[in-house]
Chain A
Amino acid sequence: MTTSLDLLLWGAAPYAAIALLVGGGVWRYRYDRFGWTSRSSQLHESTLLRIGSPLFHFGLLLVIGGHVLGLLVPKNLTELLGVTEDNYHLVSLGMGSIAGLAALTGLAILLWRRLRVPAVRNASLRSDRIAYPVLALAMLAGLTTTVLDNGLRGGYDYRETISPWFRGILLLHPQPELMAHVPLDYKLHVVLGMTLFALWPFSRLVHAFSAPVHYLLRPYVVYRRREPGRVGNRATRRGWEPVDR
């Protein structure tokens, strides 16, 4: 049985999140390309960042890879390839815990640094105050599902419920009923994940969209011609802020 809350959370909210993610991304790209950056704070502090940031990012990339495998690849496909449920479970538990732990440790270092190093704290954005907690909580909830449900409690096969639900969303065939009875921590993780996607374009997280893989292909030295009509053009002013500290 699906309640209206279920409908809202697992039928409507995903599309709202996607709309915000895509629409917000397009809006930001068109109107705020100047604000689209990693906002590196390494100039202020390097030692902690050099531990925390790679730990966080590499861990996270693994986690993202795991999500793609777990959510997008249907169970019968992996079975067809000869991967048994036990094997899959073992790998996902092992890799998931390690990667999740690495990412979370990294984030903890980064958070500590952001709060305790004055120059870094100063360089933080208003949006960070929402983005960091949501990110941290989503990751914490995610690690809980892996360690608690899949590890200590013996295993929960989300590939029977959450994964088909997720694919249903993408295929425009929502099946909220699939999510109605999954364990609470999974539900929490999914809600937090949707929140994170909704926040994505409006926070520093946008930098992930511009991962510069094309660097591998382009020639080293870039030449460009001056834009026709560029000379003497009038454009908007911005970034002229006085030194006010």
Chain B
Amino acid sequence: MRVLAQLAMVMNLDKCIGCHTCSVTCKQAWTNRAGTEYVWFNNVETRPGQGYPRRYEDQDQWKGGWVRTSGGRLKLRAGGRFRKLASLFANPDLPEISDYYEPWTYEYATLIDAPLGTDVPTAAPKSAITGAPVQPDWGPNWDDDLGGSTEHGVADPVLQRLRDDLGVQVKFEFEQSFMFYLPRICEHCLNPSCVASCPSGAMYKREEDGIVLVDQHQCRGWRMCVTGCPYKKVYFNHRTGKAEKCTFCYPRVEAGQPTVCSETCVGRLRYIGVVLYDADRVTEAASVADEHDLYPAQLDLMLDPHDPEVIRAAEQAGIPHDWITAAQRSPVYQLIHTYRLALPLHPEYRTMPMVWYIPPLSPVVDAVAGTGFDGEDGHNLFGAIDSLRIPVEYLAELFTAGDVTPVRTSLRRLAAMRSYMRSVNLGREPDERVPAAVGLDGEQVFGMYRLLALAKYDERYVIPTAGIGQAHDLEGIATQCSLDVDGGPGMGGPAVAGGQGRVDLVSWRGTGRPDALFPTLRGGGDR
């Protein structure tokens, strides 16, 4: 057993109102630079819908993640090592900018500069990449809230699979459709195929907290990671020629603060906590034969932080004491493991993702309420969960590789909680048979309720700070920032050794002498 600690996230989809605040604050913090105009480390997509980049879930096309060979070993779907090297010169499976969207801005200046005349000046759209006039026909969240879904929604790869494999048709007519929002960041996988795809070895998983980063000084722009990630959460900065990705806001997290997307989430639906897992068994768990076993296998990897043996092994592995206690209080572990509410996104990619989702019950409640029945009644809801093939099967395609049982369990538990707590709130005698029907007792329902409905900041985010022995350094964070490295926000490049600067010939405009062009004499070096 090799115990490692991982910072993981759970999102409660029922609470997401699709406001995109998380996306915008994330973008303002990390990707508001030239070269990353099209990049959203955090994006919120309407499901059913194509997602971002378009149809990223269609791995027949994009070749992300791992596949299990007939011999039971794991292989990158895009091909093994030799294949990767042979396709370095032109990656056959790379999305183009139009698969994301061509970023654009507007000629705002003409609004002010236009000569006096009778016409009202307009701000015409222009490409943010070439400056040429464009007519946007796709953009971030083009199909938000099912907009244009009679046209675009049918292209959802998950719906397509339901249609082809199960013969399930989905209606896009108003009043018969369903939808929910899916906020996505990098999954900081336990078995990251992006890392495995990087020929330079520039991508790595941090041992201390499991955050997956790109070393900006080692990345050589071979752009294989973009293909490797099945969630398409590594992006190519076309200005710097390097890969960038969600950093789990490590400079914040190191100081014990939640990520920007969590901090600003309007629905307060994100949870961050520590999960201990057994690194020795990751490959084994990721290679189970039946895709339906991937979710249980990943559950099994996560270690019980209260088990004395686990604690001992964790201490031996050098995990600091406050990380172990954080794991014991981890809201993420409870939602994933104790209550079995949260589920992984697309476990069938075999990357062992670590951002999990509590599936939304709202589409079911809405459907029940729409038929004139009490949408909060436990028995109505139980019945509806089972009889509504959509969205349960749709959710199962997203979260459990198509196995409806765990999704149904999670939804039934959520329904039981609603019904039970409503009785409590209305001062009625709660029906103990309701939680019993889903394998819980009243006390556990209260625990769930506390976590899902009441949990304050400190309970939603249980984040131990980085390196206790470095408390001294941490003081500096208030005035300094560990993001202040080349290429912008904290992409994990090594810190500069004292006095040794760097200069980028590429971004140098040729005027003046960049500070670090030449080595400096002893003493005068530190800038």
Contacts and interface: CB of A to CB of B under 8 A. Distances in A.
Are these two chains actual partners, yes or no? yes
B443 interface: no
Contact of A229 (B88, B222, B473, B475): B473
B92 A50 contact: yes
B108 to A, nearest CB: 13
B205 A44 contact: no
Contacts of B475: 232
Main secondary structure of the interface of B (DSSP, over half): loop
A232 B241 contact: no
A49 interface: yes
Nearest to A241: B34
B505 A202 contact: yes
Contacts of B127: 119, 245
Contacts of B495: 227, 229-230, 233, 235
Contact of B34 (A210, A231, A242): A242
Contact of A236 (B96, B474, B501): B501
Interface in B480-513: 480-482, 484-488, 493-496, 500-507, 510
Contacts of B484: 234-237
B477 A31 contact: no
Given A30-B500, A37-B240, A221-B196, A239 B507 contact: yes
B97 to A, nearest CB: 5
A44 B223 CA distance: 13
B304 interface: no
A44 B96 contact: yes
Interface residues of A, number: 66
A239 B503 CA distance: 11
A23 interface: no
B467 interface: yes
Interface stretch (A123-131, A144-152, A159-167, A185-193): A123-131
A34 B474 contact: no
B136 interface: no
A34 B487 contact: yes
A53 B44 CA distance: 36
A54 B89 contact: yes
Interface string B13-36: 000000000000000000011110
Nearest to A209: B220
A108 to B, nearest CB: 16
B105 A243 contact: yes
B25 to A, nearest CB: 18
B216 interface: yes
Nearest to A245: B131
B195 A220 contact: yes
Contacts of A239: 33, 240, 486-488, 504, 507
Given A245-B128, A245-B131, A226 B206 contact: yes
Contacts of B506: 35, 39, 125
A37 B34 contact: no
B502 A32 contact: yes
Contacts of A215: 81, 84-85, 199-201
A223 B33 contact: no
A167 to B, nearest CB: 31
B273 interface: no
B90 A32 contact: no
Given A126-B510, A127-B505, A242-B34, A45 B199 contact: no
B357 interface: no
Contact of B236 (A43, A125, A233, A238): A43
Contact of A216 (B82, B91, B203, B240): B82
Nearest to B502: A31
A4 interface: no
B297 interface: no
Contacts of B85: 212-213, 215-216
Contacts of A89: none
Contacts of A2: none
Interface string B291-319: 00000000000000000000000000000
Nearest to A225: B207
9 contacts: A34-B216, A37-B241, A38-B241, A212-B85, A227-B494, A232-B480, A235-B485, A237-B486, A245-B131
Interface of B: 32-35, 37, 81-82, 84-85, 88-92, 94-97, 105, 127-132, 191-192, 195-196, 198-201, 203-208, 216-223, 236, 238-242, 254, 466-467, 470, 473-477, 480-482, 484-488, 493-496, 500-507, 510, 515-517, 519, 527
Given A221-B195, A243-B32, 16 more contacts: A31-B517, A34-B217, A43-B238, A58-B89, A216-B85, A221-B192, A221-B205, A224-B205, A230-B495, A235-B484, A235-B496, A236-B496, A238-B485, A239-B240, A239-B487, A245-B34
The 3 closest A-B pairs by CB, nearest first: A37-B221, A212-B199, A220-B196
